[in-house]
Chains A and B, each alone.
Chain A
Amino acid sequence: MSSSSNKHDEGHSRFELKTLLETSRMLIESQDMDFVLNNLLLITMGKLMVSKGMILLYQPGADNYIISKSKGRNCPEEGQTISFDWDQEVQEQSVIQCGVDDFEMPELIEDDKHCTFFNLQTSNDHIGFLCLGSKGNKQPLNQHEVEFVESLSIISSVAIANSKMFTELRRINRMLDRKVYELNTLFDLSKDFNILVDREEIIRIFKFAMLGQMLIRKFFFVLEHEDERKVMATSGISGQLSEEEMEQLFSLDEDLTEVDDALEKEIPFLAENEIKALIGLQFQSERVALVGVGARANEEEYSSSDYNFLQSLGNLAVLSIQKTYLLEGRIEKERMEEELNIAKGIQKGLLPDPIPHSDKLDIAASNISSYQVGGDYFDILEAPENRLLFAIGDVAGKGMPAALLMANLQAMLHVLLPVDISLGEATGQINDIIYQNTPSDKFITFFWGIFNPDNYQFQFVNAGHNPPILLRSHEDEVEELTEGGLILGVMSTMTPYEEQTITLREDDLLVFYTDGVTEAKNKSESAEYGEEQLFECIKKNRGSSSEEIQEAIIKDIKSFSKDIQHDDVTIIVIKVN
């Protein structure tokens, strides 16, 4: 009798073992949590002949249970959540038999006071409960049955934990994939932008990359350039932003602003276009652009990492756009330099070359401009009756305006040269023309004189120019040629310019110069070269040829100023043979 009962038990446990083995294999191999739970419930219900059963899954965040599976009449519906007010201890029990164990358990299944709760747990986590109703015969579960279901519960818990981990892994993998793709996008675009100089295209690519990467439909992009803000690109936007509104957007405190009711009220454009977030973009630590984006079309919220991506992409685009502006600026500058070089060539051409030769005079002249084009002018011209005209002038200011005026003066001089009028009259006419044609802050200091080789007379007019120096051959003191009148171009000619005539003798020395000579500065810019030093230099070198004297002066200035030239330098040296 006992042996047959043993045999029965043995067969029974072998059957249970087989079930356990098969079930465990099936469950462990499955990565589908739903499948695992469903099978656990069906197998136990079938094995134990229980007609009601549920799987409760613990939701740690909300500290409640969701009914994941529910079979049988009068069981709560699937998807419902329930909270229990029980001790922590309950979650640590492997099995709780209601009505048998000493725990106060809620009545989950109507009219059933003998439910059994099997804990679904791994070593770390409480997953939930398998809750079985009473058996058809109202008998409590026996030891054997409890152990069997416990074993199944443990196997299932491992399977659930696995599938959870698998799901989590898949989620993380996908997130990583997206991150990698975002990085690739940034990397690709930085390469693309680098080779682009077309601003429009950079902006267009930037727009599409934003829309595509984040599933954005509403988008606008405002760029500030040279104090002007302009909407450079939009998608799905209607209406316009006023200048005041742009100012408001640009003065938002944070680089990232999520649009709220208050801001929508202030700027209705944002509400009308369903703009969700505003992102300020920077170039060299200054906010120079702003992007507004609407909701993502897949209804996902923007995460902080999404915002980071949008900002990185935006800053990249702004950097590339700024680069195009800088490039344009440089091209423009190069073009202007090129033009200045051409102008310099033209201006050089206006100066006498070669210097006319005279038997009676030893002449040396040179002009060193500090700028690309300058305002210094000198001329030596052959006038009718073998006479020789010398002129030197300095136009106020530097650069292109001075050069233009200098060219103008040169033209007038050449036109007036053959006309038979006195130097004084001619100076008056030139003054009137310059006065009429130039603004009052533009004027010219000018000196000119005519040498007559027949009688060695030198007739001159000085219109406010640094007085040329006359060093008579046997004198120790220099004379200055000051006679004349006002600077050219300041007022119309009221009183005629006065002429003076001197007679030159052998070895007399005449030096014409511009203020670049006497106003040359020392290294610390604390002192000027000055007239006295110029006089000394001339006296010291009076025995040399004009060429040598000129070179000596230039050398002296250069050593004084340590080769730093602030202004044009023009010198004419004339020695009477």
Chain B
Amino acid sequence: MKNFKINHREVQSYDVLELCGELDAHTASQLEDSLKRLIDQEKHQIIVNCKQLDYIASAGLGVFMAYIEDVRSLGGDIKLTNMNPKVYNVFDLLGFPSLYDILEDETDAIKKFETDEAES
């Protein structure tokens, strides 16, 4: 397996997935498994921290596309944080910023979750 790893930790009531390394066609299934597991455990407030994510291929982006609807229909969201410019560029190029909250860091993401909740 290539150099890719997901760390899972909990911050308050939020689940943080830290992506490390290269998220490509071969490693996309790892992210899929992690997201599935959280959804199965009814954990829908997910922060994906991309601080150590070096590369993302379209198959990796596809995993986000495939699960965002599920998470949102359950009243949660997937928020992305700490992207390096190279990775952000890919997200931006394909038009992700209009669909996903991409935030500076986890604190901002939590704030966004809180305002989302206050609004709804």
A and B from one assembly? yes
A188-B57, A217-B65, A235-B66 known; A212 and B95 CB under 8 Å?
no
The docked-state distance in angstroms from the alpha carbon of A204 to that of B90 is 21
Contact A181 B94 (CB under 8 A): yes
A181-B90, A181-B94 known; A192 and B61 CB under 8 Å?
no
Partner of B96, one of A207, A208, A215: A215
Contact A185 B58 (CB under 8 A): yes
Interface membership of B93, Cβ < 8 A: yes
Distance (Å) between the CB of A395 and the closest chain B CB?
A: 53
Contact A209 B62 (CB under 8 A): yes
Residue of A nearest to B56 (CB): A212
The docked-state distance in angstroms from the alpha carbon of A212 to that of B25 is 11
Distance (Å) between the CB of B67 and the closest chain A CB?
A: 9
The docked-state distance in angstroms from the alpha carbon of A305 to that of B98 is 21
Most buried by B among A212, A213, A217, A297: A212
Contact B99 A207 (CB under 8 A): no
Chain A 550-569 per-residue mask, 1 if CB under 8 angstroms from chain B, else 0: 00000000000000000000
Interface membership of A211, Cβ < 8 A: yes
Interface membership of A177, Cβ < 8 A: yes
Distance (Å) between the CB of B117 and the closest chain A CB?
A: 23
Distance (Å) between the CB of A154 and the closest chain B CB?
A: 37
- Chain B contacts of A236 at CB under 8 A? 66, 69
Chain B 1-34 per-residue mask, 1 if CB under 8 angstroms from chain A, else 0: 0000000000000000000000011101100100
Residue of B nearest to A185 (CB): B58
- Chain B contacts of A214 at CB under 8 A? 94
Interface membership of B63, Cβ < 8 A: yes
- Chain A contacts of B94 at CB under 8 A? 178, 181, 212-215
Q: Name the interface size band of chain B.
A: 20 to 34
Contact B95 A209 (CB under 8 A): no
Contact A215 B69 (CB under 8 A): no
A188-B24, A188-B25, A213-B94 known; A208 and B62 CB under 8 Å?
yes
- Chain B contacts of A207 at CB under 8 A? 62, 66
Partner of B95, one of A177, A201, A300: A300
Please report whether the interface of chain A is mostly helix, strand, loop or mixed according to DSSP: helix
Interface membership of B76, Cβ < 8 A: no
Distance (Å) between the CB of B30 and the closest chain A CB?
A: 12
- Chain A contacts of B93 at CB under 8 A? 174, 177-178, 181
Partner of A209, one of B25, B32, B96: B25
The docked-state distance in angstroms from the alpha carbon of A423 to that of B109 is 96
Contact A211 B66 (CB under 8 A): yes
Contact A209 B99 (CB under 8 A): no
- Chain A contacts of B95 at CB under 8 A? 215, 296, 298, 300
Contact A297 B99 (CB under 8 A): yes
Residue of A nearest to B65 (CB): A211
Chain A 187-200 per-residue mask, 1 if CB under 8 angstroms from chain B, else 0: 01100100000000
- Chain B contacts of A300 at CB under 8 A? 95
The docked-state distance in angstroms from the alpha carbon of A296 to that of B66 is 13
The docked-state distance in angstroms from the alpha carbon of A331 to that of B38 is 40
Interface membership of A49, Cβ < 8 A: no
Distance (Å) between the CB of A360 and the closest chain B CB?
A: 75
Distance (Å) between the CB of A199 and the closest chain B CB?
A: 14
Interface membership of B59, Cβ < 8 A: yes
- Chain B contacts of A152 at CB under 8 A? none
A181-B90, A208-B59 known; A298 and B98 CB under 8 Å?
yes
A215-B95, A215-B99, A217-B69 known; A208 and B63 CB under 8 Å?
yes
The docked-state distance in angstroms from the alpha carbon of A189 to that of B32 is 18
Contact B66 A208 (CB under 8 A): yes
Distance (Å) between the CB of B54 and the closest chain A CB?
A: 15
Interface membership of A205, Cβ < 8 A: yes
- Chain A contacts of B25 at CB under 8 A? 188-189, 192, 205, 208-209
Contact A205 B66 (CB under 8 A): no
Chain B 50-90 per-residue mask, 1 if CB under 8 angstroms from chain A, else 0: 00000001111111111011000000000000000000001
The docked-state distance in angstroms from the alpha carbon of A214 to that of B94 is 7
- Chain A contacts of B57 at CB under 8 A? 185, 188, 209, 212
Contact B98 A212 (CB under 8 A): no
Distance (Å) between the CB of B95 and the closest chain A CB?
A: 4
Residue of A nearest to B66 (CB): A235
Complex A-B: 23 CB contacts under 8 Å: A188-B57, A204-B28, A204-B29, A205-B26, A205-B59, A208-B59, A208-B61, A208-B63, A209-B58, A210-B62, A211-B62, A212-B62, A212-B94, A213-B94, A215-B65, A215-B94, A216-B65, A217-B66, A217-B69, A236-B69, A297-B65, A297-B99, A298-B95
Given A209-B25, A297-B99, output 14 extra A-B contacts at Cβ < 8 Å.
A178-B93, A188-B24, A192-B26, A205-B25, A208-B25, A208-B65, A208-B66, A209-B57, A210-B62, A212-B62, A213-B61, A213-B94, A216-B65, A298-B99
